[in-house]
Structure 1
Amino acid sequence: MTLSGRISPLVRCTAWRRAHELKKGILTVTCPDSAGIIGTVTSFLHMHGANIEDCQSNSTPGNVFSMRVHFSLPEHWLSVVREAFGAMIARPYGMEWAIKWEDEAKRVAILCTKEDHALMEMLWGVARRDLRCDVTAVISNHTELQKATESLGFKFHHVPVSKDNKPEAEKAILDLVGDVDLVVLARYMQVLSAEFIDRAGAPIINIHHSFLPAFKGANPYRQAHEKGVRLIGATAHYVTPELDQGPIIEQDVARVDHSMSVADFRTMGRSVESKVLYRAVKWHLEDRIFRVEGNKTVVFS
C-alpha cells in the first residue's frame, strides 16, 4: 500500500497472479462411444479456462470409450467446472466420470504376510513421495514386518488368521482398513472371501507370482519349475471372488534356465513382483487404469 492509502500496482498484480495461479488436474471419463466426444470434452475445458497438457483416449470393439485428460486450471474454478461438466457433458453422454486435482492423495491400506520385498518397495515409494497416497494402515497376519514398517513411520497392525478364525479375522481387518480408496495385497498369502471383497468398498490390487493365466493358485514357482519354463513372471491384477482371475493391470517376466532351482526362481521373481506391483499401484493412484468390457483394462501411459 502506498503512503496515499491506495493499493500499489505491484501488490494488485501479485494478488491477481495468486488468484489465477494454475493448478494441475485430471479428468477421467468412461461412456458408450459416439462421434465427437473428444472434441466436446476438450472444447468444454478450453471454454472454461483450462489448459490441456495431455489427452489420451481409447475405444474398445464393444463400444466402450475411455478418456484421461491432464489439464491446468485456476484453483478457484474447479468447483464451477465440475458442476458445469456434470450438467452439460456427462449427463447427456451417460458418462462415468471424475475430476480432481492431481495432488489429491488417495487413502491406501496394505495387507502383507512375511515377505518384505513388495511391501518395502511400496513404502519407500510413499516415503519418497513418488507414490502419491496416504498409507492408513499396514496389516499382517504375522509380525515379521512390524519393525521395518514402523521404522519408516507407518502404522502396523497384527491380525492372526487361521482356518478356525477367518471370518472374525477378516472383520477385524476390515475395521482397520476403514474408509479407503484402495487396498493393496503386497504378497498377502491369504485368500480373501467374497464377503470381504464386497465389504472392502474399494478396489483391491494383488500381486501374483506368475505370468497369469499360467500357474494360478499356490506355489506357482514350483509349478513353473516342474514345467521346465524359460520365463517366469508376475502379474498385478484387481481382485475378484474368482482366485487369480481379476482384470490384469501389469505383467513382466525374467529369463530362467535349466540350472536354476525353485529357490532360484523365487529369488529372481521377487524383483519382478516388486516392480510389477509398484507400477500397478502407481498407475491406479494416478487414475490411469480403466476397467472396460469383460475382464480387460485400459492403461494410459
Structure 2
Amino acid sequence: MIVLMSCNDRPGIVSILSDIVFRNKGNILDLQQHVEIEENRYFMRLSIDNSTLTNDSKNKIKEEINNSFIDFDAKISFFDEITPISIGVFVTKESLPLYDILIKHNSGELNCNIPIIISNHEDLKYIADNFNIPFAHFSIDADSKFDQEKKIIKILKDYKVDLVVLARYMQILTSNFVKNFTSINIHHSFLPAFKGKNPYKQAWDKGVKIIGATAHYVTEELDEGPIISQDVFPVNHNFSVKKLIEVGQNIERRVLTSALKSHLEHKIIIYKGRTIVFY
C-alpha cells in the first residue's frame, strides 16, 4: 500500500503516521519526505507492507490518516501497488521508445498492463504483432483529427486504459483528449529549451554543447507540462544533426522509461505545476 501526501509542515507528522500504521499492525517498508521551506509544505511517500494488512486494516489506515490531517490542508492519495496500471502506448514511426517499453515490461521492470498500441501510421504494427499486443491504426489529418480522437478515446475506455504514453507520437492532442486521460510525453530536447518541431536542428543551429530529452505530463499547452525526468549527453561541433538525433534517441528511451516507472510506482506528486519525484 502506497500513501502519497502533501500538507502544511508541522512537527509530529511522521509520528502521527507511524503510530497509525503501528496500531493497525502494519509494517512500514519505506518513507521518503521532502519539505519546501519557503512554502512551509511537506511532501511524503509512504510504503506499507501489504502482507501485514487486511482489507479492514487498509480501510482503517486510510480513514485514520484522512481524519488526522483534516486541519493540515492535506492532499492524500492511496494506491494498491499490487494492481498494475493499464497503459495505452501511442507511436508514429520511431521504434526505439516502443521497444524499450515493451522489453522492460516483458522483463518485469515495468509493473503495468499494455492492452493496446495506437498509431497514426501502420509502420510499427509488426512490433505490436511480435509482442502479441493489439494495434489500432487511426489516420489523422486536420479535417479528421477531432472525429478520430473520439474513436481513440472510446477504444482506450473499452480497454480500461489508465495512462497514455506518447512514445514519440507525432501528433498534438486536443484539449478534449487531455481532459480525458493522464498522459506522459517524451520531448526530444532538454526543456524548456527548443520546444516544438525539429529540436535537434534547433540545437545544432545554436551550437549547443549538450543535448537532452524530457519526459513530462501532457497539458493543453504544448511541451509545458510538469517535468518528470530529464537527462543530457555532452556534444561538440563535430556532431552533425544526424549524429545528434542518433545520440538523442538513446536518451529519449531512457528518460521515457524512467518517467513511466516513477508514475507506475506512485512516486510523483505534482505541486504548483512542477513535480516532486521520490526515488
Structure 2 counterparts to residues 44-193 of structure 1, below 5 A: 44-60=20-36, 61-74=38-51, 77-94=53-70, 95-178=74-157, 179-193=160-174
Report the counterpart of residue 277 of structure 1 in structure 2.
256
Task: Tell me the residue number matched to 2:195.
Answer: 216
- 2:79–2:266 CA contact under 8 A, matched in 1: no
Superposition map of 1:12-27 within 5 A:
25-27=1-3
Following superposition, the deviation at residue 177 of structure 1 comes to 1.4
CA positional deviation for 1:73? 4.1
Q: Separation in 2 of the partners of 1:276 and 1:296?
A: 17
Q: Kindly state the Cα deviation for residue 79 of structure 1 after the two structures are TM-superposed.
A: 2.2
Contact 1:82 1:99 in 2 (8 A): no
1:178-257 correspondence to structure 2 within 5 Å:
178=157, 179-200=160-181, 203-257=182-236
Q: Distance in 2 between matches of 1:84 and 1:260?
A: 59
Aligned to 2:278: 300
Scaled by the length of structure 2, what TM-score is found?
0.93
Q: Give, as a single letter, the amino acid of the residue that structure 1 aligns with 2:140.
A: V
Amino acid at match of 1:169: Q
Task: Note the alpha carbon deviations across 1:222-251, whole angstroms, 9 max, x for none.
Answer: 000000001000000011111101100010
Alpha-carbon distance between aligned partners in 1 of 2:99 and 2:51, rounded to the nearest angstrom: 37
2: CA distance between counterparts of 1:216 and 1:230? Answer: 17
Q: CA deviation at 1:63?
A: 3.2
Cα distance in 2 for partners of 1:228, 1:149 equals 38
- Amino acid paired to 2:163: L
**Per-residue CA shift, 1:111-144, capped at 9, x if unaligned?**
1100001111001111111100001211000001
Q: Tell me the secondary structure at the aligned position of residue 119 of structure 1.
A: helix
SS in 1 for 2:49: strand
* CA drift at 1:205: 0.5
- The whole-number CA distance in structure 2 between the counterparts of 1:277 and 1:238 is 11
Larger radius of gyration: 1
Cα distance in 2 for partners of 1:276, 1:213 equals: 15
Q: How many residues align?
A: 273
Q: Measure how far apart 1:48 and its partner are.
A: 1.2
Note the aligned Cα RMSD (angstroms): 1.5
Q: What is the DSSP-based 3-state SS (H/G/I as helix, E as strand, rest coil) of the residue aligned with 1:30?
A: strand
**Matching residue of 1:17:** none
For the residues of structure 2 that align with 1:34 and 1:258, how far apart are their CA atoms?
A: 52
Which deviations, in whole Å up to 9, do the C-alpha atoms of 1:148-196 show, x marking residues without a partner? 1220121111011111111011111111211322111000000111111
Q: Which stretch shows the higher mean deviation, 274-283 or 187-196?
A: 187-196
Q: Deviations over 1:4-36 (max 9, x none)?
A: xxxxxxxxxxxxxxxxxxxxx322223333332
Deviation at 1:74, TM superposition (A): 3.6
1:111–1:185 CA contact under 8 A, matched in 2: yes
**Would you say the 8 A contact 2:7–2:41 is kept in 1?**
yes
Contact 1:127/1:152 (<8 A) preserved: no
